């Protein structure tokens, strides 16, 4: 390809960033948009309480369980085609869910959203890695992407409240159609078709082990939240998940075309990044869950007011993203990730001071600001580092970031909800949030030191 042929692609790379960031924003919003709309969905479709949680769980199962397979599929069919297939499938799944006439139809739509989201996200990260190879522009591009990804949860809660209150819960699903169409148009315009990665084969056994193992883990954590850790479904799922994932790693070391080449996770910087995102998700998503409950059930905020209350999270995240994107090209990974984890820990520790009558501006908003600030630092650095120099493995390397986040979020929500519920049974709900928040903060402090060691020169690097 000549320099003249490359010029339009270079000029359009920022349009490509806008397209893939819009695609990922759609997926990120759908992780939380139905939380507020769920009571209306249940009432309108006559769903029993036993089926309600599956509206959220099925999306998480499909998305978290298939990300690694989605990364390898992106390599196999090409990232541009993967983006278009993922966007089209996600839009159709959303239309199916929005038109649901019963619970089964809604649940099918949510499960398919997770499946196509798992194909979309790795292709998004692979496109970013290929479009912005230079350190300076890479920092700016991943900064913008990090802001979009980090703000998606808060925007999902806000959008869910607005759409449910002023339109109908179905628009929490239908809203994805124009977003997907806009992103697909951007992909067609700005993302060039590329040759498929040569030699890529689907490791069928590895795909089965990884998918069923991750699904079992996510399902087990979901059951722990609703049924408790001692429930047979909980420990059976978690035990099966661990066995399947250990078997998966053993298989990956022996097959010729592994689903997850172990060199991806053995690289010290990538491994530290995955651990950081996993740790962030444990604390951050549990905190957002607690604060959603606190604002709506303790302070009796309306859905819209509760959604607006999350905006400082986005402000803090934007500040963090702007700062870290300027430092990414010249600062070490550990000097960026570890302070970010400690900043999130400081925000979570403030949950220990929360009271039923706490002032929002003095005692709730600072939690959002600090968690957002730290998340911006960690997510931008981790996403950039995970795909840097990954070459043909960039889609799988990016998929591992989101897999770490999804499993961490599931674990954190289940574990910390159990802690909060146990304390609340002997006291009150807010005291349960206090104890869980301080526990999450303590975990992140320890995690920051572990990540610092993993990223240090003294820890072993198996990237070669």
For 199-247, how does the pLDDT look when each residue is reduced to its tens digit (9 = 90+)? 566 777 888 888 888 888 878 887 776 777 888 888 899 999 999 999 9
Mean pLDDT of 355-372: 93
**Tell me, what CATH number does 312's domain have?**
1.20.1250.20
| Containing structural domain, residue 104 | 8-197
366 vs 143: CA distance, rounded Å? 22
Based on the domain organization, do 293 and 337 belong to the same domain? yes
Please state the domain count of the chain. Answer: 3
In-domain check, residue 464: no
* DSSP code at position 61: H
- The residue from 239, 256, 273 where one domain ends is 256
Proportion of the chain above pLDDT 90, given as a percent:
31
**Per-residue pLDDT at 344:** 95
- The residue from 197, 230, 246 where one domain ends is 197
Based on the domain organization, do 354 and 387 belong to the same domain? yes
**Per-residue pLDDT at 38:** 77
Based on the domain organization, do 175 and 218 belong to the same domain? no
Based on the domain organization, do 317 and 245 belong to the same domain? no
Sign for the pseudo-dihedral over CA of 220, 226, 230, 232: negative
247-262 burial, b if ≥16 CB within 10 A, otherwise e? ebbebbeeeeebbbbe
Tell me: pLDDT of 3 over 50. no
Ramachandran category for residue 197: left, alpha or beta (phi over 0 → left; psi -120 to 50 → alpha): beta
Based on the domain organization, do 281 and 322 belong to the same domain? yes
Based on the domain organization, do 58 and 147 belong to the same domain? yes
Tell me: pLDDT of 8 over 50. no
128 vs 283: CA distance, rounded Å? 27
In-domain check, residue 386: yes
Q: CA dihedral defined by 399, 262, 332, 285, rounded to 10 degrees?
A: 40
Based on the domain organization, do 141 and 75 belong to the same domain? yes
**Per-residue pLDDT at 50:** 62
Based on the domain organization, do 139 and 44 belong to the same domain? yes
Based on the domain organization, do 143 and 193 belong to the same domain? yes
Based on the domain organization, do 47 and 173 belong to the same domain? yes
User: Binning pLDDT at 50, 70 and 90, where does residue 80 land?
Assistant: very high
Residue 305 structure tokens: 């007011």
In-domain check, residue 81: yes
Q: Which of 20, 172, 148 is nearest to 97 (CA)?
A: 172
Based on the domain organization, do 334 and 226 belong to the same domain? no
In-domain check, residue 304: yes
Who wins on pLDDT, 171 or 390?
Answer: 171
**Per-residue pLDDT at 462:** 41
Based on the domain organization, do 414 and 282 belong to the same domain? yes
């Amino acid at each position: 390809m000549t320099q003249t042929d490359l010029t339009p692609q270079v000029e359009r790379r920022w349009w490509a960033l806008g397209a893939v960031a819009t695609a990922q924003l759609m997926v990120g919003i759908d992780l939380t948009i139905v939380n507020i709309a769920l009571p209306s969905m249940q009432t309108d479709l006559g769903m029993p309480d036993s089926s309600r949680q599956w509206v959220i769980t099925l999306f998480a199962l499909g998305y978290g369980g298939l990300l690694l397979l989605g990364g390898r599929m992106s390599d196999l069919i090409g990232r541009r085609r993967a983006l278009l297939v993922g966007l089209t499938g996600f839009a159709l799944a959303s239309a199916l869910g929005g038109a649901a006439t019963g619970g089964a139809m809604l649940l099918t739509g949510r499960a398919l959203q997770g499946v196509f989201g798992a194909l979309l996200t790795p292709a998004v990260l692979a496109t970013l890695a290929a479009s912005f190879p230079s350190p300076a522009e890479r920092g700016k591009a991943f900064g913008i992407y990090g802001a979009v990804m980090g703000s998606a949860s808060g925007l999902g809660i806000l959008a869910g409240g607005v759409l449910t209150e002023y339109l109908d819960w179905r628009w929490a699903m239908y809203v994805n159609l124009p977003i997907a169409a806009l992103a697909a148009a951007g992909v067609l315009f700005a993302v060039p078709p590329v040759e498929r990665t040569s030699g890529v084969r689907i490791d069928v056994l590895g795909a089965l082990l990884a998918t069923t193992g991750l699904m079992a883990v996510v399902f087990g954590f979901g059951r722990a939240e609703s049924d408790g850790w001692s429930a047979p479904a909980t420990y059976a799922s978690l035990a099966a998940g661990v066995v399947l994932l250990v078997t998966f790693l053993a298989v990956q070391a022996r097959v010729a075309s592994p689903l997850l080449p172990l060199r991806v996770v053995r690289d010290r910087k990538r491994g530290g990044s995955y651990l950081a995102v996993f740790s962030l998700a444990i604390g951050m998503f549990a905190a957002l869950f607690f604060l959603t409950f606190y604002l709506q059930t303790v302070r009796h905020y309306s859905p819209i007011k509760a959604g607006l209350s999350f905006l400082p999270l986005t402000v803090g995240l934007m500040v963090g993203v702007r700062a870290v994107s300027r430092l990414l090209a010249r600062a070490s990974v550990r000097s960026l990730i570890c302070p970010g984890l400690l900043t999130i820990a400081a925000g979570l520790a403030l949950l220990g001071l929360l009271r039923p009558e706490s002032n929002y501006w003095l005692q709730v908003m600072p939690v959002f600001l600090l968690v957002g600030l730290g998340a911006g630092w960690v997510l931008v650095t981790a996403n950039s580092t995970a795909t840097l120099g990954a070459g043909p493995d960039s889609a799988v390397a990016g998929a591992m970031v989101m897999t770490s986040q999804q499993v961490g979020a599931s674990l954190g929500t289940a574990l910390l909800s159990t802690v909060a519920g146990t304390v609340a049974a002997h006291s009150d709900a807010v005291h349960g949030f206090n104890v869980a928040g301080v526990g999450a903060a303590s975990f992140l402090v320890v995690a920051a030191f572990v990540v610092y060691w993993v990223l240090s020169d003294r820890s072993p690097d198996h990237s070669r």
